[in-house]
């Protein structure tokens, strides 16, 4: 499938935005790694160590999310190269420029994304998570 629904200018704009976001995430990763090394070297008491461990845990979770986002950005760049960018992975329809401008690595059109989120909510109703709000029983 060719990205014929999108102009070369739009595709180049999306490529530049994706590359900018990727560079920003990689830079933040380098800064976080440096901060983690500094924490390991700094002496402290048990309270400091506990706070540092919590901070490290949070930082590592964020880095994991950012690594996943970099993967999605790389996949979007590959789709641009392959002429498949901008089409829904689920239904094959055009995702549309407004959605791609808002989320350049989008893989689903808005209808399929909404359907996916409805299904996730339906599945999670029977299995509330740690931070889910559970309505009181009468």
Q: How far is residue 57's CA from residue 39's CA, in Å, rounded to a whole number?
A: 12
pLDDT given at position 30: 79
Are the C-beta atoms of residues 100 and 86 closer than 8 Å to each other?
A: yes
Domain ranges of the chain: 8-125
Q: How far is residue 31's CA from residue 48's CA, in Å, rounded to a whole number?
A: 21
Q: What is the CATH number of domain 8-125?
A: 1.20.120.910
Residues paired with 23 in a beta bridge: none
pLDDT digits (tens, 9 = 90+) for 64-119: 889 999 999 999 999 999 999 999 999 999 999 999 999 999 999 999 999 999 99
| Residues 85, 91, 94, 96, CA torsion sign | negative
Q: How far is residue 37's CA from residue 29's CA, in Å, rounded to a whole number?
A: 12
pLDDT digits (tens, 9 = 90+) for 108-132: 999 999 999 999 999 888 766 555 5
Tokens of 5: 């629904």
15 — pLDDT class (breaks 50, 70, 90)? very high
């Amino acid at each position: 499938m060719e990205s014929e629904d999108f102009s070369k200018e739009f595709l180049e704009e999306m490529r530049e935005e994706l590359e900018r976001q990727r560079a920003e995430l990689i830079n933040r990763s380098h800064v976080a790694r440096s901060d983690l090394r500094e924490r390991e070297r700094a002496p402290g008491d048990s309270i400091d160590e506990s706070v540092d461990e919590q901070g490290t845990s949070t930082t590592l979770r964020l880095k994991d999310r950012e690594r996943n986002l970099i993967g999605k950005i790389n996949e979007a760049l590959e789709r641009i190269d392959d002429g498949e960018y901008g089409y829904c992975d689920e239904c094959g329809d055009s995702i549309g420029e407004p959605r791609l401008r808002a989320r350049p690595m989008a893989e689903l059109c808005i209808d399929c994304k909404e359907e996916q989120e409805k299904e996730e909510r339906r599945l999670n109703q029977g299995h509330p998570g740690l931070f889910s709000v559970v309505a009181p029983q009468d």
